[in-house]
Structures are given as structure tokens and as C-alpha cells.
A and B are shown apart, each in its own frame.
Chain A
């Protein structure tokens, strides 16, 4: 994980970036994809997700053989948190840019990129 001089709102800069990236996702992300997009180790991401899951802020659900992580819309402060994170994303342009280039909508099998 790279050094980050930005002050962390949620404990660490990586935790901020995880939450922001999840806020920018409609359908959630696989742990490894999250780690790849944030230039972080899967282990570090896993620890953060476990802590956020215990707090009820995120949930993970199986889709096929993988587990996808997403913000928990059932959490009592979900709307406010998402709004805050979307605002905070302005401080993390690299996260926003990667999210913008990350395709979530369906794509026909075999169709060239």
C-alpha cells in the first residue's frame, strides 16, 4: 500500500478509500478487485471489510463462487454515509477515476473490449 498524506476520516486512508470505492459501486465489488483497484493487499482489504462488516456498515454476499462486498443499505445511517462518501470522493480523484473505468453493467459474452 502506498503512503497517503491525506488525513483519514474513518481511521486510515485505506479505509476511507475502501468506503469511497464501495459508495461509487452500484453492485458491489469482489475483494480482490477492490484490492487491485486500490493498489492494496487483499489481506489489508479483508481486515478492513471484516471490521466494517462487524459494524454493520458493509455486507458481503456470495455470487457464484465469489463474495461481493457492498455498502449495507439496511444500515440505519446508510443514506447519510453514502452522501458523505460521494462528497469525499472529490478528495480521492484516483479512486473516482478507477471507478469510472470499472464496468459494472452487463456485457455480452465474447464481445471484444
Chain B
């Protein structure tokens, strides 16, 4: 499959996920690229992060991504000769904070597919950037996804998750959770 020179992050994500799936690897779009998927007008990423579920052998992943024009660069990421997006496959498991992620959303475009974090998990993931490290962009993006997808984001589940994280690690600031809800 040849990607056009003006392919977007989402175009590349669909192509890569499908190529990996055809090679037997279930890879889930996560991190900032998953946020870009839900709120492309708010957050743009040049990194496409897929966490592989199977951890297929490197030569299998190399061959799968080569089929869409991506080659592994020194240091790990897969890069394309013309497109600015780099594909990375960070080590699993798929987890947000202390909790493992075992379900995700799968979208289809014709014969292509994309496994991606649910909107609720993107909110958890981005909020955790703010919660753990004080990254204000993490809070902004979490809020943007929650506002843009009110029917898909389970705020009760989000609140329960923050309670569980704080029970395990009381150093997390409860005030930041309240700040999230206040700003929503």
C-alpha cells in the first residue's frame, strides 16, 4: 500500500494498524497520537505510538511497516521518506498508571482498521500526564477530549480510576482531579 504525500496522521495510523494486523500483530494506538485522533484540531502529534499486544518478532514488524513505506531508523522509530510522522512501538503492556487496558475501540475505513484507546482512556492517559508531571498540555487535551466526546467519555469511571490511583499512591494531588472537573 502506498501512502499519498499528503497523508494525515489518521491515514498513516489506519494503514499501519492494518499492516500490522495482517502480519498477526494487534497494535493499539495510544498516547498523544490517540488524542490527536479524537481532537485533531486541538492536539497535533508527529509521533504515532502503537503498543503491540503480541510483541511480534522485529523482522515481522519491519516487513509489515515496509509495506506502507516505513523503515526502522537508528534508535527505534519507523520513519517514512516523505511523511513527517514517525511510528513507534513502545513496550507494553497497555496500561494507564497502575491499570492495564484490555479493551479498546476498533474503527474501520473500508478494508482498513484502527485499534485505538477509547475516549475515556485517552482522557485518563492525558490527565495522568498532568497529574504525574504537572504537564499543563495534558490537562488541556484531557479536557478537550472530554468536551468533544461527552457521550463517549465515562466521567464516573474516570473519577473511580482517580480514586484507585490515589489509594495506591496518596502522593497524587486530589486537587488536580477537582480542577479537571471544575474546568470541564
* A contacts, CB < 8 Å to B: 54-56, 59, 61, 73-74, 76, 78-79
Partner of B93, one of A61, A74, A76, A79: A76
Most buried by B among A56, A76, A79: A76
How extensive is the interface on chain B, given as a class? 10 to 19
Residues of chain B lying within 8 A (CB to CB) of residue A73: 132, 169
Q: Are A54 and B76 in contact (CB under 8 A)?
A: yes
Which of B78-86, B94-102, B150-158 faces chain A? B94-102
Q: Are A56 and B91 in contact (CB under 8 A)?
A: yes
- Closest 5 pairs between A and B when the two form their complex, measured CB to CB: A76-B95, A74-B132, A73-B132, A55-B91, A76-B98
CB distance from A55 to the nearest CB of B (A): 5
Q: Are B98 and A79 in contact (CB under 8 A)?
A: yes
CB distance from B96 to the nearest CB of A (A): 8
Chain B 34-47 near chain A by CB (<8 Å), digits 1 or 0:
00000000000000
Residues of chain A lying within 8 A (CB to CB) of residue B97: 74, 76
Check: B136 CB closer than 8 A to any chain A CB.
Answer: no
Closest to A82 in B: B169
Residues of chain A lying within 8 A (CB to CB) of residue B90: 54, 56
Q: Are A54 and B169 in contact (CB under 8 A)?
A: no
Check: B9 CB closer than 8 A to any chain A CB.
Answer: no
CB distance from A26 to the nearest CB of B (A): 10
CB distance from A4 to the nearest CB of B (A): 27
Closest to B97 in A: A74
